[in-house]
Amino acid sequence: MSDTYDRLNALCFGGRLRPVVIRLEPWILSIDTPGLRLAGAWDSDGWSIAIDRALLDHPRLLVGALLHEMVHQACHQAAGVGGHGPFFVAAAALAGGPLDIPGPTPATASTWPYPIPRQLLKEI
């Protein structure tokens, strides 16, 4: 997965993202919404990205989840900003450009670039 990270970093972020630890996890639970399982998570304290291993059989969704978390990393690295607010929306639009992925709106930022079907994460 580090090769995919490196390719996305070069293509979508101009190689400006610092190296991170990428972990495959069996469960990633939301801190903000108890019981909600996430496809991925950015950990600014540990400088790491976690991706739900259920996505290994779904390459398009896996790359989308990784790109989403890399946008969180970019926002944190550039301005110390978290969440899915205006900074994330703008950064995602820029990152998605080279891949012809439209940027999110404030309403779709949390599921950008591809909504992960919740049943997929429940199957594992």
In a domain, 73, yes or no: yes
In a domain, 62, yes or no: yes
In a domain, 12, yes or no: yes
Number of structural domains (the chain) is 1
For residue range 63-88, list pLDDT tens digits in order.
999 999 999 999 999 999 999 999 99
In a domain, 19, yes or no: yes
Name the average pLDDT for the chain.
89
Q: Is the pLDDT of residue 92 over 50?
A: yes
pLDDT of 122 reads: 55
Domain containing 104 equals: 2-117
For residue 35, what is the domain's CATH number? 3.30.2010.10
Q: Is the pLDDT of residue 31 over 80?
A: no
Q: Is the pLDDT of residue 124 over 50?
A: no
* Exposure class string for 14-35: b at 16+ Cβ within 10 A, else e: eeebeebebbeeeebeeeeeee
Mean pLDDT computed over 34-63 = 89
Task: Supply 45's token pair.
Answer: 């304290």
Q: Please write down the long-range contacts of 8-13, taking CB distance under 8 Å and 24 or more positions apart.
A: 8/63, 8/66, 8/67, 8/70, 9/70, 11/98, 11/99, 12/67, 12/70, 12/94, 12/95, 12/96, 12/97, 12/98, 12/99, 13/70, 13/74, 13/95
